[in-house]
Homo-oligomer: A and B are copies of this chain.
Amino acid sequence: MTDTPARPLGIAMIGYAFMGRAHSQAWRTVAAAFDVPEIARRVIVGRDEDAVAEAAHRLDWEEHSTDWRAVIAREDIDVVDICTPGFLHAEIAIAALEAGKHVLCEKPLANDTAEAEAMVRAAEAATARGQVAALGFTYRRIPALALARQFVQDGKLGEIRQLRAAYLQDWLVDAEAPMSWRLRKESAGSGALGDIGSHAIDQIQHLAGQRVTAVRGRLATLVPERPGPDGPEPVTVDDAAWASLELDGGAVASVEVSRMATGAKNQLTVEVYGTRGALRFDLENPNELWFLDATAPIAQQGYTRVLVTEPEHPYLEAWWPQGHVLGWENAFSNQARDLLVAIRDGQDAPYSPSFRDGLDLQRVLDAVIASDAADGATITL
């Protein structure tokens, strides 16, 4: 644990697009909801001077900057929150960690494994010095999913045998939607698998409390060409993917992702089947956890819709009275809370997922791709 400075923890955020907006909301909100160390929203960083100035004003940061290296060097900055595109994560995160800062890095950890490995080395060195290196799989901080994890840890499901996760979206249904950097392998790394499949696989491992040991995978590009400025261009990433996973605790899991699932807006569904119970979750109704207690009398058994808004539920004491539901953005405040508590309490409240968790997840994703390339053969991790 580093000594928490007497002054507020200074936050610097790199990036101000979608994730920057969501993280800003969290930094503005966290102290009103939770008992956390005091913070100051010192500086927001971006490449475009005018745009970042406007963002600083709108998102309520004290200052703005176009020079992340200078910001990282500042004495009054304690936490660096990285919301840039993935290909910039490694350079910034490693520099920030080496400068002695706590780091929160948005997922995915990095665009390739070599970078991710370097980041893990920097993170583990920093952690040994008492810094926190946190990876942002924010859905772990959705109260219903945190409760699901708790139920599994408490043994309410017995031994976990089978899981199913799907993450379905529909923003590529229109075959005339234009080509973009997100659909090119060189710029995006991967397609639906890396973008949303990573969430699905993270939940599988996190909820089961088990690690993936073997993978069979399949990728598909259902619309292989899209209009570019100079005519049709090939789509070089997957727009749908499937994987079958073996876990080290004996469970099996399936994953399916798609950007072509007409009518699915942001539908991450997770199902966990154990010997004593089961759980179901749907991100489009994120305040509900469906729990089945298989030890209840048969005549009254079934899935119970738990509305996760009670003070007894994870994070909820900080929010509103029972029945007053939370939105997608609240998970980011919960995440900020956990990060600040980890900074304050050190090894008593270690932050998860770590950079290593991110690297491990990247290896699972790589294995899915490798399996598909090997005509579906099992890839062992």
A residues at B contact (CB < 8 Å): 18, 21-22, 24-25, 28-29, 31-32, 58-60, 147, 151, 156-157, 161-162, 164, 166, 169-171, 173-175, 216, 218, 220, 222, 240, 242, 244, 252, 254, 256, 258, 260-267, 271, 273-278, 283-287, 291-294, 297-307, 309-310, 312-313, 320-330, 371, 375-378
Contacts and interface: CB of A to CB of B under 8 A. Distances in A.
A341 to B, nearest CB: 16
A309 B235 CA distance: 28
Given A300-B293, A302-B307, A58 B31 contact: yes
A141 B300 CA distance: 18
A171 to B, nearest CB: 8
B298 A312 contact: yes
Given A240-B252, A263-B303, A375-B377, 12 more contacts: A28-B60, A162-B261, A173-B294, A254-B254, A258-B273, A265-B322, A284-B323, A298-B310, A299-B313, A301-B306, A301-B310, A326-B328
B312 A306 contact: no
A267 to B, nearest CB: 7
A241 to B, nearest CB: 10
30 contacts: A18-B321, A22-B320, A24-B32, A25-B32, A28-B32, A32-B58, A162-B260, A173-B273, A216-B218, A216-B376, A240-B252, A262-B275, A264-B323, A265-B307, A265-B322, A284-B325, A285-B285, A291-B300, A299-B312, A302-B305, A303-B305, A304-B304, A304-B305, A320-B329, A324-B329, A326-B328, A327-B327, A327-B328, A375-B378, A376-B376
Which interface residue of A166, A299, A320 has the most chain B CB atoms within 10 A?
A299
Contacts of A244: 218, 242
B294 A300 contact: no
A64 to B, nearest CB: 14
B275 A161 contact: no
Top 10 closest pairs, chain A to chain B, by CB? A266-B323, A265-B323, A327-B327, A376-B376, A263-B292, A262-B278, A324-B328, A304-B304, A326-B327, A302-B306
Contacts of A306: 299-302
B301 A263 contact: yes
Interface core residue of A24, A175, A284, A376 (most chain B CB under 10 Å): A376
Contact of A302 (B169, B263, B328): B263
A322 B266 contact: yes
A333 B325 CA distance: 15
Contact of A304 (B22, B303, B326): B303
A240 B260 CA distance: 26
A206 to B, nearest CB: 19
A328 B325 contact: yes
A303 B170 CA distance: 13
Contacts of A378: 375-376
A166 B320 CA distance: 21
